[in-house]
A and B are shown apart, each in its own frame.
Chain A
Amino acid sequence: MKRVLLYFILIIGFLLPTVAEERSEIDSESHEAEGFDPTELIMHHISDSHVWHIVSWGEGDHQTHIEIPLPIILINKGKFHFFLYSRFDHHSHIAESRGSYFLYHHGEIYNTDKAGSFEEDEHGHIINSKPWDFSLTRNVWSMWISVVLLVLIFTSIAKKYRGKPASPKGLQSLLEPIVLFVKDDIVMEQIGQKKGEKFVPYLLTVFFFIWINNLIGLVPFFPGGSNFTGNISVTMVLSVLTFLITNINGSKSYWKHTLTAPGVPFFVKVLLVPVEFIGLFTKPFALTIRLLANITAGHIIILSLVSLIFILQSVFVSPVSILLSLVMFMLELLVAVLQAYIFTLLSALFIGMAVADHEH
């Protein structure tokens, strides 16, 4: 029975696009202005935002948005500007603060004048100067939610460890094996019992921070859904921290090995040393891109599958979209923990390689 149902859905899924394609040709002729652009929607969802959009309905001028305007913090010419996103005018997208004018355009804030004038280059990009933007964006709030959750969860668990040693209960018994796994099978395994102890708190935090943010990113409604761990600023910060910890704790033999490549002929050294040196930076770079790409790709795929309904303009596609995005969601749940694991494992591996004392 299940199998029959599955085949049925799959057959519909293959047939519908052809039907819908014919329709969309007709549609595109008659309603060219209302064409649905999934790229814009997807890019809007995976990028950071100065406003937290919750839900909207209606069309055209009757469209109603429910959204939370987020605090904008700007530093322009040594002056701080604090205001809410809602100060940007609905139509002109200009906000005034302490005598300065700012223009909001596609998620970026530019300096402008009272009239809101801006200059564009040949690609249509605005080339006005930008203030330093330290706004508490959607990603920042999303991160703070995750931080609050992490602190609440783990301090409440930590309380249970007071007193006499006892068997774990409740949430504690769920998370304790994971904590022990990260500690024993990632950190101690890669760095070693003696030296690993120092790096356990950092790597545990990295693991749970990435994991919980990946999971929050998968929640499809407010306050989830932000692509925090798929943002290069975030993955870069994390991998730079790993890079710093790795190289600050680098042992003598590590630096000797990296910078002098002992035991190889001179002409190989000429090649090897630059490669090793570049390797120092490619490792964190790979960490940055791996996490970013994996998480962003997951978001894009799920959003694309959902967009399929609107691209094909057919409600009959929805079972297929739902089924496929369900599969993707399950995969993404795995990816969420897998990427956290990989990031932590590789960080531990790099640190382990750097702190090792042995000679090659």
Chain B
Amino acid sequence: MDFLLTPDPGLVFWTTLTFGILVFVLKRFAWGPILHALRVREETIEYSLKAADKAKSEVEDLVKLREELIDSAKTDRDDIMKEARELKEKIINEARNSAQKEANKLIDLARKQIEAEKLSAIRELKKQVAELSVDIAGIILESELQSDQKQKELIDKYLDNVNFN
């Protein structure tokens, strides 16, 4: 049993040597690269998470911005539509007014012309009636005065009418 608790110098020597080399080799070729890579990965993940967060908030900002843009575009559109409607109504009204005016003017003119035409037609008619009357009177006179008798009667008649006052 005593061998259990008696260190063996040979094994102590080989263990020390081997373990020393093992620590060195693993430190150089395994732990170093592995721990470095793990640290890099950790940092990468942290950085990526931060970047993702940032991107997310940026996207949120963009969404907000877009909404704002849409809203302002909407109000702009509404304004423009309103303006356009007003303008349309104004134009229509103006057009209507000016058309009315023009129409009135035309009607006035037409009325005046009609009046003038009427007047000239009346005058013409009067003239023609006068001429016709004279002609008729002439014809009548002619026919009346064809016999002396008749001439005499007429003169009598006129003379009757004339009052010698």
Contact = CB atoms under 8 A, between A and B. Distances in A.
Does B bind A? yes
Interface of A: 43, 46-48, 73, 107, 132-137, 139-140, 143-144, 147, 150-151, 154-155, 157-158, 161-162, 165, 176, 179-180, 183, 200-202, 204-205, 209, 231-234, 236-238, 241, 292, 296
B26 A205 contact: yes
Contacts of A179: 31, 34-35, 38
Contact of A296 (B4, B15, B29, B31): B4
Contacts of B38: 161, 176, 179-180
A144 to B, nearest CB: 7
B3 A155 contact: no
Nearest to B2: A125
Given A201-B23, A232-B4, A296-B4, A147 B18 contact: yes
B35 A183 contact: yes
B22 A209 contact: yes
A7 B18 CA distance: 49
A143 B18 contact: yes
Contact of B22 (A47, A151, A161): A151
A165 B4 CA distance: 48
Contacts of A43: 1, 3
A136 B14 CA distance: 8
Contacts of A150: 22, 26
B113 interface: no
A140 B14 CA distance: 7
B65 to A, nearest CB: 34
Interface stretch (B5-13, B82-90, B97-105, B132-140): B5-13
A205 B27 contact: yes
B18 A154 contact: no
B30 interface: yes
B41 to A, nearest CB: 4
B13 to A, nearest CB: 6
Nearest to A289: B5
B40 interface: yes
A66 to B, nearest CB: 24
Given A48-B8, A236-B12, A165 B30 contact: no
B38 to A, nearest CB: 7
Contact of B31 (A73, A139, A140, A201): A201
A79 B69 CA distance: 95
Nearest to A134: B10
Contact of A201 (B9, B27, B40): B27
A233 B8 contact: yes
A226 to B, nearest CB: 11
Given A135-B10, A180-B38, A204 B15 contact: no
Contacts of B27: 201, 205
Closest 10 CB pairs of A and B: A161-B37, A154-B30, A201-B27, A233-B11, A165-B41, A158-B33, A134-B10, A201-B31, A237-B15, A233-B7
Interface of B: 1, 3-16, 18-19, 21-23, 25-27, 29-38, 40-41, 44-45
B12 A233 contact: yes
A205 B33 contact: no
B11 A154 contact: no
Q: Which of A43, A132, A157, A161 counts the most B-chain CB atoms under 10 A from its CB? A: A161
A282 to B, nearest CB: 16
Contacts of A137: 10-11
Q: Which of B15, B18, B44 counts the most A-chain CB atoms under 10 A from its CB? A: B15
A134 B13 contact: yes
6 contacts: A151-B26, A155-B29, A161-B33, A205-B23, A232-B4, A237-B12
Contacts of B45: 165
A199 to B, nearest CB: 11
Nearest to B26: A205
A85 to B, nearest CB: 14
Contacts of A200: 31, 35
A81 to B, nearest CB: 13
A238 B23 CA distance: 12
A134 B30 contact: no
A165 B44 contact: yes
Nearest to B42: A165
Given A107-B3, A158-B32, A205-B31, 16 more contacts: A48-B8, A48-B11, A132-B9, A134-B9, A140-B18, A154-B29, A154-B34, A155-B29, A157-B30, A158-B30, A179-B34, A201-B26, A205-B19, A205-B22, A231-B8, A232-B5
Contacts of B29: 151, 154-155, 158
Nearest to A153: B30
Contact of B15 (A46, A162, A205, A233): A233
